[in-house]
Chain A
Amino acid sequence: MSELFRKDASVLAGLVSSGEVSAVEVAQAHLDRIAAVDGEVHAFLHVDTEGALASAAAVDAKVKAGEKLSVLAGVPLGLKDILATNGLPTTCGSRILDGWIPPYDATVVTKLREAGVVILGKTNMDEFAMGSSTEHSAFGPTHNPWDMERIPGGSGGGSSACVASFEAPLAIGTDTGGSIRQPAAVTGSVGVKPTYGGVSRYGIVALASSLDQAGPCARNVLDTALLHSVIAGHDPMDATSIKAPVPDVIAAAKRADIKGMKVGIVKELGGEGYQAGVRSRFEESVALIESLGAEVVEVSCPSFPAALAAYYLILPSEASSNLAKFDGIRFGNRVGDDGTKSVEQVMSETRAAGFGSEVIRRIILGTYALSAGYYDAYYGQAQKVRTLIKQDFDAAFAKVDVLISPTAPTTAFKIGEKLDDPLAMYLNDVATIPVNMAGLPGMSLPIGLAPEDNLPVGLQIIAPAMADDRLYNVGAAIERELLAKWGGSILGMAPELAGA
């Protein structure tokens, strides 16, 4: 038997439920893996050894008692540090929350615990999910397991890196403009942003309330589907959560049949500005999709070029309001309270000391976009652009069943390369942003390595609202062919990590 930490989540779940391997053994194997490699990768901000082993032991007790288990009982997982965990530190990658221990669990966390998933710890992220490289974490960047000098993507670089480095078979990320999909693409793993409202946002520290969604990360489509099915569903604590039943993503992942499907290539997502190797791998995927019996056509979504601009008006606006609660009054670090200053001064000093520069930049931008006299031209206008984007998607889905594009314009760039140019950094999300703007579900699937740098490339699949299952069907069909072609997971081609 190969090492436990190299196994898929579905396999581990089977081993645990059959009693062949204990959940504690599985957890320990992953904790050992983390100890061996995370010094380099830095995917984790906090490892909860005690809690993980206790959860695992509880699962083993259930197995012994013959109780019914969930599909993922005993499987370890990394949680992006933006989800509130009762009794576990939650920093959102920010100094302002360094040391904060929430008194409650996010609904997603409750569901994971109830399913017997073993939470190993909290993973690294760009501060308050603002970024596409995890370089804006106040606690140091995460490194891409494919090349330690490169970024793992962001804002959820920690989650994708921890599955790509085999520290956990599963992770939870959040995606506001691509923060699950882009890291998945540049680390050679799978990541899904569900339909907006498909997964409860209760307990997930809000960045842009109308765009945020939590979603599953894993190394293959089926594992991702299993995790999706555990975390999705209506939550009365989240007024924006969908009441309709969760689509059967597991069945879709097993079906993996796209014969007769219509697949659309979005003209505006791809082409110039996209790295050559990204484009060539994308074109190969198109050929593969056609070979599987699907029809591929080109569609045009003319509003998409404006999506990035509209996004960078809506996100900072909502974020500037969502982040106002970080003032050192009720929780978090307070700076400057020497007994002489006013509360206004202490709040302002606290925030200046606690927030990083990207966060401050976006708060100022958002404050501007919402201010009297500017609202109509900026935020108001951007919300209209959202309608146009949704209309373009609706028109496209009238002709096709799913849409595809490259997930990101480039492969993983070097740490530090884009730090000084915020606009250049924002461009990483140019293909993923329209999906959040319309509230649709999207997946990133590894489709190979770019020949020029041997770094992973991702394919983005987009489905209509509430048709998340289509992502899994299409993704699994493509994946099966690629696995056959590669002789196994693409991650088998990744360099061995030094500490391993």
Chain B
Amino acid sequence: MAEAIMNYDEAISKFDPVLGLEVHVELGTNTKMFCGCSTVFGAPPNTQVCPVCLGLPGALPALNKIGVESAIRIGLALNCEIAEWCRFARKNYFYPDMPKNFQTSQYDEPIAFEGYLDVEIDTDEGRKTFRVPIERAHMEEDTGKNSHVGGATGRIHGADYSLVDYNRAGIPLIEIVTKPITGTGKYAPEVAKAYVAALRDILRGLGVSDVKMEQGSLRCDVNLSLRETPESKLGTRSETKNVNSLRSVERAVRYEVTRHAARLAGGESIVQETRHWHEDTGISTSGRAKSDAEDYRYFPEPDLLPIAPSREWVEELRAALPENPAVRRARLVADWGLSEIDMNTVVNSGALDLIVEAVDAGVDPAAARKWWTGELSRIANDRGIELEELPVTPAHLKRLEELISTGSLNDKLARQALEGVIAGEGDIDAIVAARGLAVVSDDGPLLAAIDEALAADPAVAETIKSGKLAAAGSVVGAVMKATRGQADAARVRELLFEKLGVSE
């Protein structure tokens, strides 16, 4: 049953939103957080388990060093302080996908805390930077997976029983929690989305996770509350889960603002609860009431010893951090002389790293951009693969550009050459030779082709001579077709105008 919502603009005019975002990152380590079981996705059920991650009596955890290292690197990339001494804690609650019925996590001693992330959003006043305060990043473990049998949709409600697979139990997770994000005003949805996107970029840049929201290696819970004015105390918040894409983050925030506003304006209070987001219908529905707050009875994990990262180790990791993606983008925009819009296109196509790689190898930035965001993106999309999977190297692009600049190849022929590279026919020169790709540089065949085209369309010569130069396009097109694209279009046009005694 759909709940009442208020028009967004009206809601924003009446209330001040406060956001809180909790992001869980699945680390791409080889083994789980507390045992040596493999983390490879898609294995048959219960084949990547051991006494530890199965929670068998007597088993003990052994901490994955890369889990700790990743947590520190993530903390540093988010401008956090790294704890000098911290511990794990047990979060005690019962659930069938929890092998021990407690989660080994961190409670009041997170490994990273007090950080921030600057995100950029478009506002009415142009592009603005917004600083999202980060409370903490800590280490914990994932649960097993339940599948529900007997219900209509495979979801919990109405199911007769469930089946549990513990392959994912113990997968390393880093939980990143923001402080209450205030001052966003009407841009709350955009800030939320920009934050998750920026976080994703950073995590991808660090190489700690493949951060695929659709696959669950990056999960976002959205918390929202409204208050009358920025000076009022915080309102009751709701938590929304199942927010599986950037688009959902933005929509969920927007929806919750409108839902809270409708309730508050109608004199009702907000129920502190966990809600479930439905991307298909664009609404959230009520889940568990969070007010019957589970008492997790946290206490320090006695089976694991404290982690005290030396300052030397922390500085070593800090020095080896990759450049912050936003900083890098700003630098490239300046270096390449791009507009923000153009840079957005580059980033959205996922080609930034590939372009940088090409530029570093000596390819002209504009050319690298053109190929990767243009033809190669098209090809990748058509085939449903990632850009990185195309076997096109900077060397290929460099050679292509060389041949184009000397006039040996035109754009159309260059694309054919790339097709050949992708088909595995060899390097550029080999393909050009094998396929006979060459711009016709001899005027003779061009003039002959022009004569043929004019003969086929007698009227067009007059049209051109009368001043409608655009009509030349059809002649050039015919010549290009006749020469299988191997003519230099500009030269054809030149010769045509010469022939007709017309000047441009």
Contact = CB atoms under 8 A, between A and B. Distances in A.
Interface stretch (A70-78, A235-243, A399-407): A235-243
A339 B100 CA distance: 24
B201 to A, nearest CB: 35
Contact of A325 (B55, B162, B166): B55
B92 A324 contact: yes
B90 interface: yes
Contact of A371 (B54, B160, B295): B295
A344 B164 CA distance: 15
A106 B51 CA distance: 11
Interface stretch (B71-79, B267-275, B296-304, B457-465): B296-304
A203 interface: yes
Contacts of A205: 57-58
Contacts of B94: 324, 327, 344, 347
B500 interface: no
A83 B101 CA distance: 21
B304 A203 contact: no
B102 interface: yes
Given A236-B62, A239-B63, A325 B299 contact: no
A53 interface: no
Contacts of A236: 62
A320 B94 CA distance: 12
A317 B216 CA distance: 34
B92 A370 contact: yes
A201 interface: yes
Contacts of B99: 325, 330
A321 B60 contact: no
A372 B295 contact: yes
A467 interface: no
Interface residues of A, number: 45
A369 to B, nearest CB: 9
Nearest to A205: B57
Contacts of B469: none
Interface residues of B, number: 32
Contacts of A395: none
B61 interface: yes
Nearest to B303: A209
A202 interface: yes
B154 interface: no
Nearest to A331: B56
A379 B101 CA distance: 20
Given A238-B60, A318-B302, A103 B51 contact: yes
B96 interface: yes
A274 interface: no
Given A202-B58, A202-B59, A343 B96 contact: yes
B305 interface: yes
Given A321-B92, A344-B94, A330 B55 contact: yes
Contacts of B54: 330
A257 to B, nearest CB: 37
B297 A104 contact: no
Contacts of B162: 343
A230 B99 CA distance: 32
Nearest to A83: B58
Given A103-B51, A239-B63, A344-B94, A321 B299 contact: yes
Contacts of A202: 58-60
Given A330-B54, A343-B96, A237 B60 contact: yes
Interface string B455-484: 000000000000000000000000000000
Interface string A198-230: 000111111011100000000000000000000
Contacts of B101: 324-325, 327
Contacts of A102: 51, 56-58
B59 A370 contact: no
Contacts of A97: 57
Interface string A89-110: 0101000010010111010000
B57 A84 contact: yes
A203 B58 contact: yes
A103 B51 CA distance: 8
Contacts of A300: none
A92 B303 contact: no
Contacts of B96: 329, 343
A375 interface: yes
B61 A239 contact: yes
A240 B305 contact: yes
A213 to B, nearest CB: 13
A367 interface: yes
A321 B297 contact: yes
A90 to B, nearest CB: 8
Of A239, A317, A375, chain B has the most CB atoms within 10 Å of the CB of A239
A239 B60 contact: yes
Contacts of A326: 57
A324 B164 contact: no
A204 B56 CA distance: 10
Contacts of A367: 297
Contacts of A83: 58
Contacts of A90: 57
A406 B210 CA distance: 61
A210 B302 contact: yes
A203 B295 CA distance: 29
Interface in B132-178: 160-162, 164, 166
Given A239-B305, A317-B299, A201 B56 contact: no
B60 A201 contact: yes
Given A239-B61, A327-B94, A331-B56, A104 B51 contact: yes
A321 B297 CA distance: 9
Interface string B269-291: 00000000000000000000000
A329 B162 CA distance: 11
A330 B166 CA distance: 10
Contacts of B61: 239
Contacts of A238: 60
Interface string A314-338: 0001101100111101110000000
A382 B60 CA distance: 24
Contacts of B303: 206, 209, 239-240
Contacts of A84: 51, 56-58
B100 A324 contact: yes
A330 B46 CA distance: 11
Nearest to A337: B161
A367 B94 CA distance: 13
A240 B60 CA distance: 10
Contacts of B304: 239
A203 B59 contact: yes
A400 B303 CA distance: 31
A379 B89 CA distance: 14
A222 B60 CA distance: 31
B248 to A, nearest CB: 29
Contacts of B60: 201-202, 206, 237-240
A321 B104 CA distance: 11
B58 A206 contact: yes
A340 to B, nearest CB: 10
A367 B96 CA distance: 20
Contacts of A321: 90, 92, 102, 297, 299
Among all A-B residue pairs, the 4 with the closest Cβ atoms: A324-B101, A370-B297, A209-B302, A210-B302
Given A321-B102, A321-B299, 19 more contacts: A92-B57, A102-B51, A202-B59, A202-B60, A209-B303, A239-B60, A239-B62, A239-B63, A240-B303, A240-B305, A318-B299, A320-B92, A325-B55, A325-B57, A330-B99, A339-B161, A343-B96, A371-B297, A372-B295
Interface of B: 51, 54-63, 90, 92, 94, 96, 99-102, 160-162, 164, 166, 295, 297-299, 302-305
9 contacts: A83-B58, A92-B57, A203-B58, A239-B303, A240-B60, A240-B303, A318-B299, A321-B102, A331-B56
Interface of A: 83-84, 90, 92, 97, 100, 102-104, 106, 201-206, 208-210, 236-240, 317-318, 320-321, 324-327, 329-331, 339, 343-344, 347, 367, 370-372, 375, 379
